[in-house]
Amino acid sequence: MDTGGSSESPVEPKKGKSKTPRKPKDSVLKQKSPAEFFAENKNIAGFDNPGKSLYTTVRELVENSLDSSESISELPVVEVTIEEIGKSKFNSMIGLVDRERVDEALYDDYETTKAREKRLAKEARAQEIQAKNALLGKKVKETPASKGMKGRGDASFYRVTCKDNGRGMPHDDIPNMFGRGFNLTFQLKFPFNTDFSLWDKIWLEADTWKVWSWGKDGLPIEISSSMRNQSYISFCRLDIDIHRNIPHIHVHEKRDNKDQWRGAEIQIVIEGNWTTYRSKILHYMRQMAVITPYAQFLFKFISDAPEKNVTIKFARRTDVMPPVPLETKHHPSSVDLLLIKRLIEETSKQNLLQFLQHEFVNIGKSYAERLIGEMGPDFGPKMAVKSLTSQQIVRIHQLFRQAKFDDPSGDFGTLLRTCFQCLSPAGEYNLRLGIIKELHPDMVATYSGSAHIFEGHPFIVEAGVSVGGKDVKQGLNIFRFANRIPLLFEQGADVVNRTALKRINWSSYKINQTQDKIGVFVSIVSTKIPFKGTGKEYIGDDINEIATAVKLKSKITKKMQAREQQERKRSLNRYLNDVTGAVYGIISDTAKSRASKNKKKRYEDEDLDAETLREVSAKLITKERLKEELAQHIEKVDYEMLLEYATQSGVSEEPREAIYIQSLEAEPKFIDLHSPIFVFRLFQ
């Protein structure tokens, strides 16, 4: 059609170069199973590389074992073994025969003669520099030559075995537990709204190690398990059909349990790198021993070279375990739309008023009626909760986000009932014990704060500071925990790291930040840890509630005062022998001189008590008695100062509870308790 009135004919295409345009392909909707998705996106769950994959596998197996033991209130015993598998052994395991290289130039680690000469010359120069630095006393770094060369074809494989004394698993459930990615039945073994909600991260990673293992080496997983009072051991060898997300069972049988063993043992062969992540894995095990001193760990690394074997036992130090977290109601401001829908489906309450009262904290009857009135004329207290439409549920969610709800932060008893029951902190006792057990510091100060609220979720911060210790480097050593799980990566932007580095003037406590060995331990326990980033390895510094709770300065001030008091006592006791000898020498010489008649008048004017001198002459006062009297005086002064410190700190310490003492006798006779600075008297 001519639109512009032009008489020009359209341009003809050149002959021989015209092509029929391709028809667009019909769009294809491809569905992937969860296992298949994470097989392609392993970095989301911490499987970025072979080294971190080995670390993450150990971490998830250990934490699953701890959880299994704690769930039945059993003191955990966890054994972890990493066995290095050489190339020849691995090939025999999968049924391959070793084959010599034929075309060397085909391989990635092939070097030409010229390239080899150049590399050797570079290594020789590096070794010469290393020798000079060693003579000058400078730090010597490992050269590339000493590290060795390994081609990509020489992948390292490891057999990781984790054994525990926990609950065990039902025989028929094992295939689905380990042969399906993200099995909901296995994942939700903990009640909702407890501090084990962090397991959304753990189970994400735990299921990914199964996918990583099967995708990298093709070897099946082996599981042995036995439950309490079970006469057999369940054994299962399986792998995963990644595309269909179902278990592929090789062996599933019951074996004799002659020793009445209970627990679980998981064995998996995985591609990894022990050399690069050795320090991370050992550091993780040590931190687990700090935060769980009630557990016993045995770690073994078995190498092809026996001299590289590692065996470390982390002994149990206490039998005091944290309380098992209990399920509590949700805070209205913390629920999302999907959770409200699920609660409506699962509730046993008939009407909306009962639903609001019994499914959420801090909503009483009168406040529930006010909320229903605010929702509009379509809502009523007696309306059936199951009949709520999608639009009405959205309205409830919107009101929950906008309305004001009290935080469970009233008196201490209320705080215990509403917050602590759904949390399972390590406890100040365990934290202090763990630090002493693993670091052997010169001084430890620990603190366990009260519960706070962030976005409707309660959280507790426990902190510890140590000075000195064994195998502790100079400067700040920061240990971070989230729900009693060590966090080893991405600590630069973490609220704990920034607080310790930028908000504390360590010199005010007579601590040298660069020269002293300082350990900073902070454990945050919550029903929802506010992680930043997909890795979930750090807590942001922009959360005011948590940043305020992590107040290390206020937590260690009084502990440092107590430390100074202890140091004064140590100093006095250190010089007690010298002081005793000097004082006794003076009074002994004075007593001898006074015995001389020609100097009697002179020594009658001396400051020394005449009675004391007579007792010295009569051997009633000896050097040993004088030392004993001085030691008792030091203890008395120290005791009085400690009482004064305890009185001052006790007045301001929170929380406090009133106590009631009642005599068991019909006619109570209370005895006064006397102290150098007070009398404790009970009145009828």
**Half-sphere exposure of residue 218: CA atoms within 13 angstroms, side-chain side:** 7
Q: What percent of the chain has pLDDT over 90?
A: 16
Start-to-end Cα distance in the chain: 113
Interatomic CA distance for residues 160 and 213, integer angstroms? 11
- Look up residue 671 and give its DSSP letter: P
Span of 74-83, 93-102, 327-336, 409-418 with lowest mean pLDDT: 409-418
What is the predicted pLDDT for the residue at 50?
Answer: 83
Interatomic CA distance for residues 522 and 289, integer angstroms? 15
Where does the pLDDT of residue 243 fall: very low under 50, low under 70, confident under 90, or very high at 90 and above? confident
Domains of the chain (ranges; CATH) run 34-92+154-297+309-314 (3.30.565.10), 332-407 (1.10.8.50), 425-550 (3.30.230.10), 566-652 (no CATH)
Strand-strand pairing, 457-467 and 443-448: antiparallel
Is residue 382 a known part of a binding site? no
Q: Residue with structure tokens 């984790």?
A: 162
Interatomic CA distance for residues 515 and 475, integer angstroms? 6
Is residue 164 a known part of a binding site? yes
Q: Residue with structure tokens 């992937």?
A: 32
578 φ, ψ (degrees, to nearest 5): -65, -45
Q: Is the pLDDT of residue 299 over 50?
A: yes
Is residue 536 a known part of a binding site? yes
Q: Is the pLDDT of residue 238 over 80?
A: yes
The per-residue pLDDT for range 108-161, each reduced to its tens digit, is 777 888 888 888 888 888 888 877 777 666 655 554 444 444 444 345 889 999
Instruction: Take residue 209 and report the two structure tokens written for it.
Output: 């190690």
What is the predicted pLDDT for the residue at 529?
Answer: 78
Instruction: Take residue 492 and report the two structure tokens written for it.
Output: 């630069």
**Cα 45 vs. chain centroid, distance in angstroms?**
17
The per-residue pLDDT for range 559-611, each reduced to its tens digit, is 555 566 666 666 677 777 777 777 777 777 777 776 664 444 444 444 556 77
Instruction: Take residue 269 and report the two structure tokens written for it.
Output: 């062969």
Burial of 72 (0-12, 13-18, 19+ CB in 10 A): middle
Interatomic CA distance for residues 273 and 54, integer angstroms? 7
The per-residue pLDDT for range 347-371, each reduced to its tens digit, is 888 899 999 988 887 788 889 899 9
Instruction: Take residue 310 and report the two structure tokens written for it.
Output: 């590692």
